[in-house]
Amino acid sequence: MSSFLVRLNFHGNLSFFLGPKRRPEIIERQLAEKTSIKDVIESCGVPHPEVDLILVNGQPVDFYHNLQTKVGVDVYPVGFLPTLFTDKRLQESHFTKFVSDGHLGRLTRNLRLLGLDVAYLNAAEDRQLLETMQRENRALLTRDRRLLMHGCAKRLLSAVATCDGTNR
C-alpha cells in the first residue's frame, strides 16, 4: 500500500489539545498503512471522549472507521453543531451521575453542593475509576489525558483549567 495524506480539521475548543506549536486547527498526516480514525485523532493529542462527531469527506463515521486513502476529516467537540447528524453522535450528552478522580476534590465538593451525584475516589487508581464508571453507569471527571484515551472510556468529561483559573 502506498502512503496517503489525511487532512484533519479540528473545530471548536478541540484546538486546546493540539498545543501551541500545532495551531492552526488543520493538521496533515502522511500515513503508510490502514489506520483507524480514532488512532489518528489521538495521535494529534485530542482524547476521543472530547470528540462527538467525525466527518470523513462530509460523511459521519465512528471511531473504528479505517482510513486507507486520501481524505479530509472534520472533527467536532461535544455540543458543537447540535442539529447536524444528531443520530450519528459519538458521545452521550446527558449525565446524571459522575465519578471524580483524586485531583478534583474542590470540583467534586462544588458539584455536590449543587445537588449532583458525584462519587469521589481520591486514592483510586485508573483501573478502579474505570470500573466504577462502568459498574455504576457514571461519567468520569478527570484531567488525566492518559485516562481520557483509555479504550473503554466512553463517558468521560475532562476538566481543563487555564492559567487564570477558568475552566475550558
- Cell for 75? 472533527
39 sits in which H/E element: helix 37-43
- The whole-model pTM stands at 0.63
pLDDT in tens, the chain (168 residues): 689 999 999 998 888 888 766 556 688 999 999 999 999 999 988 888 889 999 999 999 999 999 999 999 999 998 787 778 888 888 766 678 888 988 899 999 998 988 889 999 888 888 888 888 888 888 888 888 777 666 555 544 444 333 333 444
Which residues does 23 contact at the CB level (< 8 Å), separation at least 6?
15
The grid coordinates listed for 158 are: 475532562
The CA angle 58-67-73, to the nearest 5 degrees, is 30
**According to the model, what pLDDT value does residue 33 have?**
93
